[in-house]
Chains A and B, each alone.
Chain A
Amino acid sequence: MKRGHIIALGVFIALILLVSLGITFVGKVPMTTDVRPLGLFYLKNSYFGNYAARSPEVVTSILWDYRGLDTLFETGVFFLAIISALALFRIEKKEEKVKEKGEGFTFIVKDTVRIISVLIVAVSAAIALHGHLTPGGGFQGGSALAVVPLLIIVAFSKYALEGRGLTKDTAMIVRSIGLISIIILVLIPLAAGGYLMQNLPVFPSHILGQLTSGSLVFYNLFEYIAVGAGFTAVFLLLSIPEKVFHKIIGGEKE
């Protein structure tokens, strides 16, 4: 950190304090103390009421029930972004295994990663599957799950994952299974005579005495699979050594 940065930061923070003091004395700070009518509707109707999703978690019920189509198309954007990233990095030839120099990390790092990765998988599954009861859901659980292949790639190598069968193609297949299941879940209420992405009368709110909030638990499960596997595929591609690409790109040019 240079001396000029410290002085500039001091000036900026003093300016921020002055401006906020000025705003306070003018008295034009928006301080809301009540919920807007639309938010109030969701808070009232999430568990009780005629338009209920039977879920005590209001955010998840907005995500997958009240504004479900928005989330569906956001999932489409996610799909497109991952697909275009994979298209930028495509390798048509079969890639060779690059011998790495050195011995890697010590056993402390490796054993810690072995234990921690199992724990993270368990925690992320809990976040995703309890998404209709407590804070959490498919997006959150999936992004927590994506930390696991990253840790394994950093601590061991990408060949540790690929040797156990988790290649890019497997991750893509798992992700496609998740997305196709979401599409099928969207279409089921149409077949049962309801609307697109309808939740409650079509799906049961309790299964075996457990509160499942209709289709929310299934959407969370499949979104968890799709997000986790999508990020896994991206990181498997990103960890290919640059030598492989230089060989392929250089070969095409000449």
Chain B
Amino acid sequence: MIFIHLVILAISMILGFVFSYLAIMEEDLLKAVIYSAGQGVMFSIAFYILMAPDVLLAYIAIAIGIYTALLVFVISKTERKEVV
């Protein structure tokens, strides 16, 4: 049923919105990176439901592995807190 596909898609998109809101509003940058990785997980579920396995294979390695590690390296070399 396409209904179930759409329900999973809608839940993952709303959770992706929640994670990206938290990632942008969080003042501790390390926590923001973790939230951003959560947003990556939700978007990769959406890519799977939207029948794009090619994009999924590239996205899951980049958005959850490489990109999180890159930002953790950058934060360890610079500063951790954001002063608003």
Q: Which A residues fall within an 8 A CB radius of B?
A: 1, 5, 8-9, 12-13, 16, 57, 59-60, 127, 135-137, 139-140, 143-144, 146-147, 150, 154, 231, 235, 238-239, 242
Question: Could you list 29 examples of A-B contacts with CB < 8 Å?
Answer: A8-B21, A9-B18, A9-B22, A13-B14, A13-B17, A13-B18, A16-B14, A16-B17, A59-B54, A60-B54, A135-B53, A135-B54, A135-B56, A136-B54, A139-B58, A140-B54, A140-B57, A140-B61, A143-B62, A143-B66, A144-B57, A144-B61, A146-B61, A147-B61, A150-B65, A150-B69, A235-B69, A238-B70, A242-B77
CB distance from A88 to the nearest CB of B (A): 13
CB distance from A156 to the nearest CB of B (A): 15
Apart from the given pairs A13-B14, A144-B57, 6 other A-B contacts in the complex at a CB distance below 8 Å: A9-B21, A59-B54, A136-B57, A140-B54, A143-B58, A143-B62
Contact A5–B25 (Cβ < 8 Å): yes
Contact A127–B57 (Cβ < 8 Å): yes
Q: How far is the CA of A242 from the CA of B65 in the complex (A)?
A: 23
Q: Which B residues fall within an 8 A CB radius of A?
A: 14, 17-18, 21-22, 25, 53-54, 56-58, 61-62, 65-66, 69-70, 73, 77
Contact B17–A239 (Cβ < 8 Å): no
Q: Interface majority SS on A: helix, strand, loop or mixed?
A: helix
Q: Given the interface contacts A135-B54, A144-B61, does A231 sit within 8 Å of B22 by beta carbon?
A: no
Q: How far is the CA of A12 from the CA of B25 in the complex (A)?
A: 14
Contact A154–B22 (Cβ < 8 Å): no
Contact A154–B57 (Cβ < 8 Å): no
Q: How far is the CA of A115 from the CA of B66 in the complex (A)?
A: 19
- Taking CB atoms, residues of chain A closer than 8 Å to B53 are 135
Q: Interface majority SS on B: helix, strand, loop or mixed?
A: helix
Contact B66–A150 (Cβ < 8 Å): yes
CB distance from A220 to the nearest CB of B (A): 12
- Taking CB atoms, residues of chain B closer than 8 Å to A150 are 65-66, 69
Total cross-chain contacts (CB, 8 A): 53
- Taking CB atoms, residues of chain B closer than 8 Å to A57 are 54
Q: How far is the CA of A135 from the CA of B60 in the complex (A)?
A: 14
Q: How far is the CA of A146 from the CA of B66 in the complex (A)?
A: 8
Contact B57–A238 (Cβ < 8 Å): no
With beta carbons under 8 angstroms apart, the residue of A5, A16, A140, A235 that contacts B22 is A5
CB distance from B38 to the nearest CB of A (A): 13
From B18, B56, B62, name the one whose CB has the most chain A CB atoms within 10 angstroms: B62
With beta carbons under 8 angstroms apart, the residue of A147, A154, A239 that contacts B66 is A147
Residue of B nearest to A138 (CB): B58
Contact B73–A238 (Cβ < 8 Å): yes
Residue of B nearest to A240 (CB): B77
- Taking CB atoms, residues of chain A closer than 8 Å to B66 are 143, 146-147, 150, 231
Q: How far is the CA of A141 from the CA of B33 in the complex (A)?
A: 24
Contact B58–A154 (Cβ < 8 Å): no
Contact B57–A135 (Cβ < 8 Å): yes
Contact A12–B17 (Cβ < 8 Å): yes
Q: How far is the CA of A231 from the CA of B17 in the complex (A)?
A: 29
Residue of B nearest to A2 (CB): B25
- Taking CB atoms, residues of chain A closer than 8 Å to B57 are 127, 135-136, 140, 144
